[in-house]
Amino acid sequence: MKENTPTEPKASLNFLEQIITNDLASKSTGGKVHTRFPPEPNGYLHIGHAKSICLNFGLAQKFNGKCNLRFDDTNPTREEQEYVDSIKEDVRWLGFDWEDREYFASDYFEQLYEFAVYLVKKGKAYVCAMTAEEISAHRGTPAIPGKESPWRNRGVEENLDLLDRMRKGEFPDGSHVLRAKIDMGSPNMHMRDPVMYRIMHAHHHRTGDNWCIYPMYDWAHGQSDYIEGITHSICTLEFEVHRPLYEWFLNALDLPHLKPRQIEFARLNLTYTVMSKRKLLSLVQDKQVKGWDDPRMPTISGLRRRGYTPASIRMFADRVGVAKRENVIEVGLLEHCIREDLNKNAPRAMAVLNPVKLIIDNYPEGQVEEMPAVINPELPENGTRMVPFSRTLYIEREDFMENPPKKFFRLAPGAEVRLKYAYIIRCEHVVKDADGEISEIHCTYFPETRSGLPSDKKVKGTLHWVCPEHALEAEVRIYDRLFSVPEPEEVEDGQDFRMHLNPDSLKVVKAWVEPYVGDATAGQHYQFERNGYYVIDPDSKTGHLVFNRTVPLRDSWTKVEKNK
RNA sequence: UGUCCUGUGGUGUAAUUGGCAACACGUCUGACUCUGAAUCAGAAAAGUCCAGGUUCGACCCCUGGCAGGACAACCA
């Protein structure tokens, strides 16, 4: 089937594009742009990472450069192959290609070690035997300068020997570290002799037991960027204070080639959402959600299962923009992006989620008509599907009111509406059960108003419907926002963000859907007309359809009602 | 009582570098409609954190405040 692919030109440049444009003009990066997306494989990617992925790969695309995928795997105690796999799947799913440039910081361990030896020989690094607690105590606070380590002025030969023995495994964890010799009095904490290597006798997912010393982030990252020929190393704001250190290492190494430059941007925040890995993990562990790919999670795998498309997420990343100021994006924008994509591309179907029986008294018993229905009015060339119509139907319970308010365009005693793709009907009377609940709505139909026939008869409302005889039963999972307040992380001391969990974030209902969706497979999107966008969940099996609600249609009627 | 970063409609991002603020989402009207969707037309909404200064002219430059954020893992 044909699909709509939205593209939009962008006039002005964001601050990253401006920097790159200038660098290109001045040839300061050799006329090249080379970025990287550097996840640590210790968890699942979320929508915030998607922003970074779109930024890094997008910038490379826009300026005819390249973008690497690099796993920042310098801490063997937290990282696993499982995460490497999920990250690759997510980046690929988002639509980006790192070609053969799949790298791991752990590939550079040997090179990094040689760099470290160089710094030791230059007198710019030393082995320190203080405990973690002592180092911490000596470091001071942001407002109070630190004190120098007693080991700071050891000779080069001794440092070399100690470093060598650290690598060989002669020392237990925590007994020594290699530190850069910078300035314990620096107002920047990160410059107070930062740790470069720590001893960890741990098995690494890629290097196995080859190493028992592992580089710290600050020591590994910039040098990895350099090794890969990265020109613009784009990261989030919290690394801003690390930049002097990033540059210090690169300078101290007296490197022959072009040095990368670190540029920071403000991370994504979303209303009604938490984004920190720790908090997301706690939701999984406490079983508040069913896993990392629960459709309520802001993880890429969760959004995918929810029914978000790669195009919608890319569009979102484009529209939120990039800057250096803290921001909180309204989820409404994300929802708008998926609606825009799905409106243009998702086939329509009729589904009734909360049925009430409707009987057309003057329609021949036993007769079934196949009504042609447009698959997608935005893509008329995709044709029509046939929907069976009969004397007894299901319509949505909320589409009928015995005592309707004014401007209620739906069904009510004496009122006329169109059944979409079929006939105009008039409600004659209702039948109630013992509890006073409406069990049948009786109507008459006007044969000359059959869809497609010329008829002057006009009605204000159009209802969707389903024929119980032919409809398929389905499980529908109606998802809503996971949190009930815009900023769930804003809690008072002693309170927990989980107090803001939305108790109604998932409702499971039984529904009836028209037959033509029957042979669709997991991941297929639909618009249930007048209701919302849905996607077939991987749990779906033949004979047991499962749909997830991605997002409801905009609804100005219930909005009007609510505002009363 | 340290260092660094950031302050533009409700939200986010612009203003081609000093020429009286634009776009998107949202909101509100109205049109159209066999989806109360989509689409189309229109409106309200900031005078750019504050106070000075430079200038014919400041969101943009200078000075001083104020507010918010980041930084004290052998995490990334």
Q: Residues 2-21 of A near strand B (Cβ < 7 Å)?
A: 11-15, 18
Give me the percent of chain A exceeding a pLDDT of 70: 98
A324 among known catalytic residues: no
Rounded distance in angstroms from the CA atom of residue A348 to the C1' atom of nucleotide B31: 25
What lies within 8 Å, CB to CB, of A555 at 6+ separation is none
CATH number for the A15-265 domain, one of 3.40.50.620, 3.10.20.90, 3.40.50.300, 3.30.470.20?
Answer: 3.40.50.620
How many whole angstroms from its chain centre is CA A537? 17
- Is the four-CA dihedral A510, A511, A512, A514 of positive or negative sign? negative
pLDDT at A558: 87
Q: Residues 277-316 of A near strand B (Cβ < 7 Å)?
A: none
Give the whole-angstrom CA distance, residue A510 versus residue A513: 10
What lies within 8 Å, CB to CB, of A137 at 6+ separation is none
Structure tokens at A121: 């020989």
Looking only at the bridges linking them, the beta strands covering A506-513 and A351-352 are antiparallel
Average pLDDT for A1-10: 48
A136 in contact with nucleic chain B (CB within 7 A): yes
Is the pLDDT confidence value at A3 over 80? no
> How does the average pLDDT of chain A come out, rounded?
95
3-state SS string over A82-112?
HHHHHHHHHHHHHCCCCCCCEEEHHHHHHHH
Q: Residues 415-434 of A near strand B (Cβ < 7 Å)?
A: 418, 420-422
Give me the percent of chain A exceeding a pLDDT of 90: 94
Is the pLDDT confidence value at A7 over 70? no
What lies within 8 Å, CB to CB, of A556 at 6+ separation is none
Average pLDDT for A321-338: 97
Give the residue with minimal CA–C1' separation from B4: A241
The tens digit of pLDDT for each residue in A261-309 reads: 999 999 999 999 999 999 999 999 999 999 999 999 999 999 999 999 9
pLDDT at A32: 95
A70 in contact with nucleic chain B (CB within 7 A): no
Average pLDDT for A214-220: 98
Give the whole-angstrom CA distance, residue A373 versus residue A393: 17
Give the whole-angstrom CA distance, residue A52 versus residue A69: 12
Rounded distance in angstroms from the CA atom of residue A458 to the C1' atom of nucleotide B9: 42
Give the whole-angstrom CA distance, residue A509 versus residue A494: 37
The tens digit of pLDDT for each residue in A340-387 reads: 999 999 999 999 999 999 999 999 999 999 999 999 999 999 999 999
A267 among known catalytic residues: yes
Q: Where are the domains of chain A?
A: 15-265, 277-347+474-562, 354-465
pLDDT at A8: 39
The tens digit of pLDDT for each residue in A97-141 reads: 999 999 999 999 999 999 999 999 999 999 999 999 999 999 999
A156 in contact with nucleic chain B (CB within 7 A): no
Question: Which one of the listed residues A139, A267, A279, A498 is annotated catalytic?
Answer: A267
Task: Return the closest nucleotide (C1') to the Cα of A131.
Answer: B74
Rounded distance in angstroms from the CA atom of residue A229 to the C1' atom of nucleotide B72: 33
Question: Which one of the listed residues A124, A206, A277, A450 is annotated catalytic?
Answer: A277
CATH number for the A277-347+474-562 domain, one of 3.40.250.10, 1.10.1740.10, 2.60.120.10, 2.40.240.10?
Answer: 2.40.240.10
Give the residue with minimal CA–C1' separation from B76: A217
Task: Return the closest nucleotide (C1') to the Cα of A399.
Answer: B36
SS3 label, residue A68: strand
The tens digit of pLDDT for each residue in A433-492 reads: 999 999 999 999 999 999 999 888 999 999 999 999 999 999 999 999 999 999 999 888
Nucleotides of B under 7 A from a protein CB: 1-8, 10-15, 17, 24-28, 34-39, 68-76
A177 in contact with nucleic chain B (CB within 7 A): yes
Strands of A297-391, DSSP E: 348-349, 351-352, 355-360, 369-374, 384-389
A426 among known catalytic residues: no
How many whole angstroms from its chain centre is CA A172? 41
SS3 label, residue A398: helix
**Burial class of residue A95 (count of CB atoms within 10 Å of its CB; 0-12, 13-18, 19+):** middle
Task: Return the closest nucleotide (C1') to the Cα of A323.
Answer: B13
Looking only at the bridges linking them, the beta strands covering A462-463 and A416-419 are parallel
pLDDT at A395: 98
Rounded distance in angstroms from the CA atom of residue A145 to the C1' atom of nucleotide B2: 9
The tens digit of pLDDT for each residue in A224-267 reads: 999 999 999 999 999 999 999 999 999 999 999 999 999 999 99
pLDDT at A2: 55
Task: Return the closest nucleotide (C1') to the Cα of A340.
Answer: B38
User: Residue A301: enclosing H or E segment and its boundaries?
Assistant: helix A300-306
A340 in contact with nucleic chain B (CB within 7 A): yes
pLDDT at A562: 77
Task: Return the closest nucleotide (C1') to the Cα of A221.
Answer: B76
How long is chain A?
564
SS3 label, residue A232: strand
Is the pLDDT confidence value at A552 over 80? yes
Give the whole-angstrom CA distance, residue A323 versus residue A55: 12
Rounded distance in angstroms from the CA atom of residue A221 to the C1' atom of nucleotide B35: 52
Rounded distance in angstroms from the CA atom of residue A16 to the C1' atom of nucleotide B63: 30
What lies within 8 Å, CB to CB, of A83 at 6+ separation is A41, A42, A43, A44
Structure tokens at A325: 């100021």
Rounded distance in angstroms from the CA atom of residue A325 to the C1' atom of nucleotide B60: 17
Rounded distance in angstroms from the CA atom of residue A13 to the C1' atom of nucleotide B19: 21
Give the whole-angstrom CA distance, residue A388 versus residue A516: 10
Same fold, A15-265 and A277-347+474-562: no
Task: Return the closest nucleotide (C1') to the Cα of A42.
Answer: B76
CB A477 within 8 A of CB A549: yes
CB A404 within 8 A of CB A412: yes
Give the whole-angstrom CA distance, residue A56 versus residue A45: 15
Rounded distance in angstroms from the CA atom of residue A487 to the C1' atom of nucleotide B2: 31
CATH number of the A354-465 domain? 2.40.240.10
Task: Return the closest nucleotide (C1') to the Cα of A453.
Answer: B34
